[in-house]
Amino acid sequence: MAAALAVLPVLFCWKLIPESPSWLLVKGRTDEALAELGKVAWWNGKDFQVEAARKDLDKEQESEDSGGAAEKVSLLQMFRTPNLRVNALLCTVICMSGFLCYYGMVQNTSNMGEGNIYMSYFLGALSEIPCWAVPFIIAKMGRRWVLLTLLIISGVCSLIFGFIPMDLPLISLAISLIGRMTANGAFFICLQYSSEIFPTVIRGKGVALCEIVGGVAIFLSPIIIYLAKISPILPTLIFGLFSLLGAMATFFLPETAGKALPQTLKDGEEFGVEQGYWDFMWTKKTVDRGCLPGNIKIGEEVLEKLMLPKVMSYVSLGGANLKFGAESLENLMLPNTMSHMPLGGRDSGLGESLENLTLYLDENVV
């Protein structure tokens, strides 16, 4: 009763939760999407030009409408796409593993090795406090390798715990607390990571699928705990194996941090195909924010030269013949030989350095 009453005020705060601009755009609610983007820009101290953005979005919408009316997308259509189908199944595996291991370890707290059930629950609760840093960690280091590491540590701790002699309760307690802490951290990441894998047109249904599979895993976790009556090591062995299964599934998923998330089924099918299994994403900022003024714009011909979407034209640089000074080029990590090259001109030797310019533009939109 007390726990239910504590959560009750959340029901009255639903208006304070912002809606996803991507979802609003997909649903054709452009005004609401622009309003949400304006709030994001305001919180980040950016100048968001609503009318310019609306104009570009209207052009994009006209282009899409000329190609035919958009049809509703179902999970069945998603499973017909080879790459997205595999990613979706891998997401269900990691959600099942994350939910099962975390809830199972919480329910198994009384068997952590201390002998005092109250102290075990107290220490178990304390072990979850460091997991509050997980959102900040994945914002810097990405989702994939952080989740992979947490699941591996959780799995190894669970397997080791099952073979620790009964006369070493403190060691058992320490190992089990590490396993529970890392399982909790993995649980925090699972749904967020999965939601970023699914394209916007199917994201809600995809996340619902993952939650259903995770709910089944939670339902099965007490049954696994009761297997301790057969053998005390059975629950921890099962949790350890499922953690390692989740880690294996994570290894084959693409990284989503710092990437433009997929919007359509085609985007979802192509998402991550250029990434390697051993790629590591460290999302620290490498561009000086102060190298260019924030109120200049890029013309459409420049965007075409840079291969940037036209919807960004309201946030970036100036006219088609804008020239960079040497200092600006140095801050953007572009070669100084370009200091007198008009971006909108005929010269196209911008090379790979434009990735840094794209990063700068992205950072100054949001």
User: What dihedral do alpha carbons 226, 227, 231, 235 form, nearest 10°?
Assistant: -100
The predicted structure's pLDDT at residue 59: 74
Q: Give the pLDDT confidence score for residue 276 in this predicted structure.
A: 84
Tokens at 3, concatenated:
């726990």
Domains observed in the chain: 75-270 (1.20.1250.20), 289-365 (no CATH)
CA atoms within 13 A on the CB side of 144: 26
Lowest mean pLDDT among 153-167, 191-205, 281-295: 281-295
Predicted TM-score (pTM) above 0.75? no
Encoded tokens for 177: 């607390």
pLDDT tens per residue across span 187-239? 999 999 999 999 988 998 999 999 999 999 999 999 999 998 888 889 999 99
Query: According to the model, what pLDDT value does residue 23 have?
Result: 80
Higher pLDDT pick, 15 / 323? 15
> What pLDDT score does 221 carry?
93
- Sole residue written with tokens 């073979």: 163
Higher pLDDT, 112 or 269: 269
Amino acid 32: pLDDT: 85
Mean per-residue pLDDT over the chain, rounded: 77
For residue 18, with 0-12 CB atoms within 10 Å meaning exposed, 13-18 middle and 19 or more buried, which class applies? exposed
Average pLDDT, stretch 60-73? 62
Residue 347 has pLDDT above 70, yes or no: no
Q: What's the confidence (pLDDT) of residue 100? A: 95
With vertex at residue 357, the alpha carbon angle to CA 277 and CA 63, rounded to the nearest 5 degrees, is 85
- Write down the pLDDT at residue 42: 86
Is pLDDT of 261 > 90? no
Q: Using 50, 70 and 90 to split pLDDT, how confident is the model at 318? A: very low
Alpha-carbon span 57 to 100, nearest angstrom:
43
pLDDT at position 298: 47
Average pLDDT over residues 309-323: 39
Distance CA 213, CA 195 (A): 14
Higher pLDDT, 348 or 261: 261
- Give the count of alpha carbons within 13 A of 225, CB side only: 19
Give the pLDDT band of residue 163 (cuts 50, 70, 90).
confident
Write the pLDDT tens digit of every residue in 74-128: 888 888 899 999 999 999 999 999 999 999 999 888 777 666 788 888 888 899 9
Q: Which residue has the higher pLDDT, 87 or 297?
A: 87
